[in-house]
């Protein structure tokens, strides 16, 4: 970046921005004078220390020249571009998902307007679908939920580097005016917006592990049909020639562990897997939807129906048994699990509120896919089954 391009950015940079950046990236304040602030960072590989000096006030006449010198030194020491450093200076609490498009069209040095619009639309659908699937994992959503669209409005399209075809999605950490429960999880302090980016990266990487057609992604922790269809929209032609590279730059204020994978690639062959996965996940949804509709219709028949036995179970203490397909918790100390209970027609999802101790055991059973059983009073609100007064929760060996 030329000096003339740096100057307009100075008005947006404060000394507080600089301090946050340096401290967050491992620099330590060593000395302070009326004119300068000195920071130092040890280089463990070469057993030496790097030193950098910044002016103590923006009021100094030579602030502009000294600040440009500071940026140039920082680029050299950290081996980063001025674009990257300026972004982190101005946005210390924002993660960035970079989606790079490589196709025959992009190799010509430009993208067609219709395809660029198609990519923007696909990315928007991907973010909304991922939010929906993070809040309430399902194989497919008929239409996006209003809350997902509202949260997606906080994501922004960032600036890209010169000469690149990279769509940059900015995901600020901890938004105001957003339901705080979305950011809370009993066992995980990862901010919600960061979970969205992690789910996208992990979901794409998991697609590379699917080699046989009978397998499809676990929508509970990765891609669902809506996410697959949004990613498919990034492919420019039916010949499946496009490659999409995704990479997340974590914000400097909330760094991630080094062992967390932050990149994924959609190869041309992966698009075929995505197409198959989207179809299979839609089938799972349609099968469950039809079975649920049939069950509701039969359960509402008179006691003379052949399903009278199930109707009589309502409002009575029963034991349900099955696998847990979802766990939930929130700040109001509410702990909820969903058990796929084998009933007259097929597996039926039953909502079961638990105490904290049983909920911990339930999370273990959920992670290890173990059968559980629990007693309680089966009740029904609309189309939702719930087990009230749950007790005697057990993990079946």
Contact between 91 and 252 (Cβ < 8 Å): no
Contact residues for 365 (Cβ-Cβ < 8 A; gap 6+): 324, 371, 372, 395
298 located within any domain: no
User: Among 288, 322, 346, where does a domain finish?
Assistant: 288
The answer to whether 7 and 61 have CB atoms below 8 angstroms apart is no
pLDDT at 163: 45
Residues 83 and 101 in one domain: no
Locus of tokens 């339901």: 179
Residue 349 included in any domain? yes
Question: Are both 268 and 342 inside the same structural domain?
Answer: no
176 with 99, same domain: the answer is yes
Judged by phi (left if over 0) then psi (alpha if -120 to 50, else beta), residue 254 lies in beta
278 and 173 assigned to the same domain:
yes
Element (H, E) at 140: none
Q: Are 84 and 180 part of one and the same domain?
A: no
* C-alpha angle 298-300-301 in degrees, rounded to nearest 5: 70
Distance (Å, whole) CA 53 – CA 64: 13
Residues 116 and 118: their CA atoms lie apart, in Å, by: 5
Tell me whether residue 78 is in a domain.
yes
What's the half-sphere exposure (Cβ side, CA atoms, 13 Å) at 113? 0
Tokens of residue 351, six digits: 């909502």
pLDDT, residue 190, reads 80
Residue 301 belongs to some domain of the structure = no
The predicted pLDDT at position 90 comes to: 82
Query: Quick one: 243 and 330 in the same domain?
Result: no
Domain that holds residue 36: 3-90
Which helix (H) or strand (E) segment is 176 a member of? none
88-104 in b/e burial notation, b at 16+ Cβ within 10 A? bbebbebbbbbbbbbbe
Please answer whether residues 262 and 247 qualify as being in contact, where contact means their C-beta atoms are separated by less than 8 angstroms: yes
Per-residue pLDDT of the chain (397 residues), as tens digits, is: 555 566 666 667 788 888 888 888 888 887 766 678 888 887 766 666 888 888 788 777 787 888 888 888 888 888 888 878 888 888 888 899 999 988 877 777 778 888 889 999 999 999 999 999 998 888 899 889 888 998 999 898 887 654 457 899 999 886 443 444 444 444 456 888 999 999 999 999 988 776 554 556 678 888 999 999 999 999 876 665 789 999 999 988 888 888 889 999 998 888 888 888 898 888 877 776 555 555 445 444 433 333 334 445 556 788 888 898 888 776 555 678 889 886 655 567 888 988 888 888 898 888 888 899 999 888 876 667 888 888 999 998 7
Considering the domain boundaries, does residue 25 fall inside one?
yes
Domain total of the chain: 3
The count of residues in the chain is: 397
Q: What are phi and psi of 113, to 5 degrees?
A: -60, -45
CATH number, position 40: 3.30.310
Q: For residue 291, what pLDDT is reported?
A: 53
Say if residue 271 is in the same domain as residue 176: yes
DSSP per-residue letters across 265-307: EE-HHHHHHHHHHHHHHHHHHHHHHHHHHHHHHHHTS-TTSTT
Which residues on adjacent β-strands are paired with residue 376? Answer: 318
- The whole-angstrom separation of Cα 76 and Cα 83 is 13
Q: Are 232 and 270 in contact (CB under 8 A)?
A: no
Is the same domain home to 247 and 234?
yes
Provide CB contacts within 8 A for 144, sequence distance 6+. Answer: 128, 129, 132, 226
- Closest by Cα among 193, 189, 16 to 95: 193
pTM of this structure: 0.64
131 plus 253 within the same structural domain: yes
Tokens of 261: 């994978």
What are the beta bridge partners of residue 387?
378
pLDDT at 2: 56
- Asked if 134 and 256 sit in the same domain, the reply is yes
What pLDDT, on the 0 to 100 scale, is given for residue 351? 87
Residue 258 lies in a domain: yes
**Which of residues 90, 113, 142 is at a domain's end?**
90
Q: Tell me 186's DSSP state.
A: T
Write out the E strands in the chain: 28-32, 36-43, 48-55, 94-102, 156-158, 166-172, 243-249, 263-266, 317-329, 335-342, 347-354, 371-381, 384-395
**Which secondary structure element, helix H or strand E, spans residue 360, and what is its range?**
helix 356-368
46 and 119 Cβ atoms separated by less than 8 Å: no
- What CATH number does residue 382 fall under? 2.40.50.140
In a domain, 300, yes or no: no
Residue 372: the pLDDT is 93
Tell me, yes or no, whether 65 and 163 share the same domain. no
Nearest to 351 by CA among 376, 378, 387: 387
**What pLDDT score was predicted for residue 91?**
83
Beta bridge partners of 319: 375
Q: How far apart are CA 250 and CA 252, in angstroms?
A: 6
DSSP assignment, residue 59? Answer: T
| Residue 293, in any domain of the structure | no
Query: Using CA atoms, how far apart are residues 251 and 203, in angstroms rounded to an integer?
Result: 21
- The C-alpha torsion from 208 through 202 and 239 to 165, rounded to 10°, is -130
Residues 63 and 102 in one domain: no
- What pLDDT is recorded for position 301? 44
User: CB–CB of 298/307 below 8 Å?
Assistant: yes
Identify the domain boundary among 68, 90, 112. 90
């Amino acid at each position: 970046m030329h000096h003339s391009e740096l100057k307009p950015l100075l008005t947006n940079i404060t000394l507080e921005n600089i301090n946050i950046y340096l401290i967050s990236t491992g620099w330590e304040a060593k000395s302070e004078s009326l004119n300068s602030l000195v920071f130092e960072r040890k280089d463990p590989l070469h057993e030496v220390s790097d030193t950098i000096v910044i002016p103590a006030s923006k009021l100094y006449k030579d602030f502009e020249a000294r600040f440009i010198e500071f940026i140039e030194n920082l680029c050299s020491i950290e081996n980063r571009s001025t674009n990257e450093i300026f972004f982190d200076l101005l946005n210390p609490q924002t993660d960035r998902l970079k989606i790079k498009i490589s196709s025959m069209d992009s190799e010509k040095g430009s993208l067609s307007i219709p395809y660029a619009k198609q990519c923007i639309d696909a990315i928007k659908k991907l973010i909304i679908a991922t939010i929906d699937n993070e809040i309430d994992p399902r194989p497919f959503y008929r239409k996006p939920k209003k809350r997902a669209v509202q949260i997606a409005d906080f994501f922004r399209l960032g600036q890209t580097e010169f000469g690149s075809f990279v769509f940059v999605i900015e995901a600020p950490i901890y938004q105001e005016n957003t339901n705080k429960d979305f950011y809370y999880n009993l066992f995980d302090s990862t901010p919600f917006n960061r979970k969205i980016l992690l789910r996208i990266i992990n979901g794409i990487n998991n697609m590379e592990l699917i080699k046989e057609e009978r397998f499809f992604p676990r929508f509970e922790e990765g891609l669902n049909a809506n996410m697959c269809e949004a990613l498919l929209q990034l492919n420019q032609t039916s010949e499946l020639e496009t490659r999409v590279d995704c990479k997340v730059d974590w914000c400097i204020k909330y760094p991630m562990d080094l062992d967390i994978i932050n990149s994924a690639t959609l190869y041309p062959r992966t698009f075929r897997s995505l197409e198959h996965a989207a179809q299979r996940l839609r089938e799972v949804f349609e099968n469950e939807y039809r079975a649920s509709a049939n069950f509701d219709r039969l359960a509402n028949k008179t006691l003379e129906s052949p399903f009278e036995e199930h109707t009589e179970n309502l409002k009575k203490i029963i034991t349900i048994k099955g696998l847990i397909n979802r766990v939930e918790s929130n700040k109001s100390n509410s702990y909820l699990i969903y058990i796929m209970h084998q009933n007259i027609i097929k597996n039926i999802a039953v909502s079961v509120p638990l105490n904290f101790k049983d909920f911990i055991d339930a999370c273990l059973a959920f992670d290890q896919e173990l059968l559980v059983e629990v007693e309680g009073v089966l009740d029904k609100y609309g189309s939702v089954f719930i087990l009230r007064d749950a007790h005697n929760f057990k993990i079946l060996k």
